[in-house]
């Protein structure tokens, strides 16, 4: 079914920080990133306004470039900043929401997944083992300290840039119900530890 620009802008206005327009256009990685960061901390949601026409055209198959599978995408400074920022954000969330999990496990895993999520936005992809392996090795050097989220995120970002490739085109997309189910599980995995920690803190104060 052809995507309509007016519908995309309507979803952007009504639920842009939650990535509703990206779900409509089949950009699930981008939608998940927006859900977990509330529209790229607000700035990314506003930035989307100028890119919606191109994304709608791409979703409809117009102006699609030739097969670039396996080639290296152009370097994007915005993507670099996003990878480092979201990696640090995920690492800090893991430190707050999973204090009972050893830092040498929770921190690099969270940072690596944050960098990996930003790396999978759009028409590019990155090999997850390379990003996660680099994050774990860097975290070992800093003994999992909270302040290590910056160097771990930087190292994982460098690994992601070295292994970035264009995503294969023409791959069949799962049905909407399956896509929403996966997005829901991912959001639950991210928010459940924070909610549990918040409830425990509130119970401790009230008790």
Within a domain: residue 205?
no
pLDDT for 71 beyond 80? no
pTM value surpassing 0.95: no
Residues 78, 159: one domain? yes
- 176 is a domain residue: no
Does one domain contain both 90 and 41?
no
Predicted local distance difference test score (pLDDT) of residue 202: 82
Kindly state the tokens that stand for 159.
């690994």
pLDDT digits 0-9 by tens, 24-63: 999 999 999 999 999 999 999 999 999 999 999 988 886 5
10, 42, 66: which is the final residue of a domain?
66
Q: Is residue 202 part of a domain?
A: no
6 plus 60 within the same structural domain: yes
- Note whether residue 184 is domain-resident: no
* Claim to verify: residue 77 and residue 109 sit in the same structural domain: yes
C-beta neighbour count of 69 within 10 angstroms: 12
Whether residues 78 and 98 share a domain: the answer is yes
Q: Which residue, among 57, 45, 41, 37, has the nearest Cα to 15 in the 3D structure?
A: 45
Residue 64 scores a pLDDT above 60: no
Q: Within this chain, do residues 123 and 105 fall inside the same structural domain, yes or no?
A: yes
Question: Is 116 part of a structural domain of the chain?
Answer: yes
pLDDT value for 188: 93
50, 66, 82 - which closes a domain: 66
The stretch 71-89 carries a mean pLDDT of 90
How far is 102 from 135, CA to CA, in rounded Å?
Answer: 15
In terms of domains, do 82 and 133 share one? yes
Residues 39 and 104 in one domain: no
Identify which of 1, 22, 115 has the alpha carbon closest to the alpha carbon of residue 9. 22
- Domain annotation covers residue 179: no
Phi-psi group of 41: left, alpha or beta (phi > 0 → left; psi -120 to 50 → alpha; rest → beta)? left
- More confident: 148 or 32: 32
Residue 201 lies in a domain: no
Nearest to 96 by CA among 192, 187, 194: 194
| Domain carrying residue 23 | 1-66
Whether residue 7 sits in one domain with residue 59: yes
Based on the fold, state whether residues 124 and 108 are members of the same structural domain: yes
Q: Please count the structural domains in the chain.
A: 2
Specify whether 50 is located in the same domain as 112.
no
Angle at which helices 103-119 and 77-97 pack, to 10 degrees? 150
Summarize pLDDT for 155-200 with one digit per residue, the tens: 999 999 988 888 877 677 889 999 999 999 999 999 988 888 888 8
Residue 8 lies in a domain: yes
Predicted local confidence at residue 33, as pLDDT? 96
Task: Please say if the pLDDT value at position 207 is more than 70.
Answer: no
């Amino acid at each position: 079914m052809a995507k309509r620009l007016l519908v995309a802008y309507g979803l952007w206005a009504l639920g842009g920080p939650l990535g509703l327009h990206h779900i409509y256009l089949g950009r699930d990685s981008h939608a998940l990133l927006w859900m977990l960061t509330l529209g790229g901390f607000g700035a990314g949601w506003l930035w989307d306004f100028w890119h919606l026409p191109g994304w709608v055209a791409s979703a409809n198959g117009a102006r699609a470039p030739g097969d670039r599978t396996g080639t290296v995408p152009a370097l994007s400074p915005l993507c670099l900043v996003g990878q480092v920022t979201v990696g640090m954000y995920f690492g800090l969330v893991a430190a707050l929401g999973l204090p009972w999990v050893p830092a040498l496990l929770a921190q690099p895993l969270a940072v690596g997944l944050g960098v990996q999520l930003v790396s999978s936005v759009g028409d590019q992809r990155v090999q997850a083992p390379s990003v996660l392996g680099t994050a774990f090795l860097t975290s070992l050097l800093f003994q999992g300290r909270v302040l290590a989220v910056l160097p771990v995120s930087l190292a994982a970002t460098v690994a992601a840039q070295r292994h970035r490739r264009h995503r294969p085109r023409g791959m069949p997309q799962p049905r909407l119900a399956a896509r929403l189910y996966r997005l829901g599980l991912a959001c639950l995995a991210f928010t459940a530890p924070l909610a549990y920690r918040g409830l425990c803190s509130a119970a401790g104060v009230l008790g």
